[in-house]
Amino acid sequence: MKHYPNHYIGGLWQQPANAGQKPLVDPFTETAFATVVTGGDANDVDQAVGAARRAFETFSRTSVSDRAALIDRIISAYEKRIDEISLLMAREVGIPISARAQATGPVGHMKVARDLLKTYPFESHLDDTIIRREPIGVCALISPWNWPVQTPVIKAIYGLAAGCTVILKPSDASPLSGIVLAEIFEEAGVPDGVFNLVLGRGSVVGAALSSHPDVDMISFTGSTSAGARVGEAAARTIKRVSLELGGKSANIVLRDADLEKAARWNIQRCFFNAGQSCHAPSRMLVHESRMDEAASYLADEASKYVLGDPQLETTTMGPVVNQAQFDSIQKHIQIGIDEGARLVCGGVGKPDGRNQGYFVKPTVFANVDPGMTIAREEIFGPVLAVIPYSSETQALEIANDSPYGLGGYVFGGDRKKAYDFAVGLRAGRICFNGAATNSLTPMGGYKQSGIGRSMGRVGLEEYLEIKSVYGFEAETENLPVFPR
């Protein structure tokens, strides 16, 4: 059994002073397959922040062309390990290798950041003023286990594109994904201290990063409760905070929509990654007259999933990440039954023939009241709550009656009416008729789903400060400009 004993700080792999071990359990076999260092603490964070601060003095002054070339080298190093990364995620968190986008998606995001970097106006002019956008400084990146590679890649690559230095703390449920990323960045020749990795618990390492006075920005993806603690700690040193938090996204099927298309798409999107996605459309709103018809399509689509070993190409749904997540999902399914929702398919317990592995039955509830627990709490599993509405005015009220506002989905025939409905949704990203999202556009949420945005131009600007320099007209004076 392989042991992973080191952080990556200042260009060196080094053991923490308090080096314990934690077993990593394969969610399919329910047995340990590796061990990883624990004991990352405030001293390790101090070392990483110090290394990042020293590197920032030089890296923040590098040219745009140099940083674009660095991203190209990272892409090249990453592409050589895509198959390895796919297998690692299958073993570490149960993501099937058939979910290829989990491994290939980061390449597209890196290319978008690289291309944006080449055209972004780091300097602009207004009358006699030069308006500069400069790297904010040392950035702490805290990433989740459900997208264990793509999320930290997006955070790190936009930070580096801006000229910042970064410290990554991956989830302690998916530390090996963070280690592989550190190896990739090292192979690509990222300068010492520009990218650092500190492993450990969020309550220790995450808290130390959030409160550290020499961290200028913290980017966190995870639960709303954990995000609140990060924001509270960060506020004491007035650092910038970007939070992508929980969701309970609604898919509203308007009366003139193609119901079968909407239902089948809803299952595919909601149950992707075994439902462990903050953007999952885990509430589906259907006109009360079409509830039975919708339930039939949903049950049929849910029955198509092949549950099994995530390392097999034939598997389309793997286990959930660990025992704690399995238990939480089971609890919510039982609550749905106890509160009177109609169970269409799935239910409590493991699927037939799956006594090993943290497998959850793909579960659909119909005739769900908007006040029920399964309609309000983020379950983070393959569980869908189908809610009837009597009018589209009521549907909008139900959709917006949530503490969350991360994503939203609208299916309809009349494009203008559907767009008007989408405008009324209080959420950060809305898809019409199953449209794919675009990595050039910002991602983030309203309300308790977060603060700030990632991806694209707006995502780059999360890592930049704005400076106004008065009394100069750069077009007519021979002044230095932002390094190109």
Decide if 140 contacts 51 (C-beta within 8 A): no
Phi, psi of 166 (to 5 degrees): -135, 155
**Side chain identity at residue 422, one-letter code:** A
- Following CA atoms 251, 252, 258, 259 in sequence, which dihedral angle do they give, to the nearest 10 degrees? 80
Active-site choice (244, 301, 392, 461) = 244
Query: Element (H or E) spanning 139, and its range?
Result: strand 138-142
Active site residue 278: yes
C-alpha span between 365 and 373 (Å, rounded): 12
Give the SS3 label for residue 283. Answer: strand
Helical pair 82-93 and 175-187, crossing angle rounded to 10 deg: 160
Using CB atoms within 10 A of its CB, is residue 481 exposed (0-12), middle (13-18) or buried (19+)? exposed
Would residue 378 show up in a list of annotated catalytic residues for this protein? no
260 φ, ψ to 5°? -65, -45
Buried-exposed string 198-217: b where 16+ CB fall within 10 A, e elsewhere: bbbbbebbbbbbbbbeebbb
Tokens representing 405 are 């506002």
Collapsing DSSP states into helix, strand and coil, what is residue 394? helix
Q: What are the residue ranges of helices labelled H in 271-322?
A: 291-302
In the set 278, 392, 431, 462, the catalytic residue is 278
Strands (E), 19-84: 20-26, 31-38
Catalytic residues: 244, 278
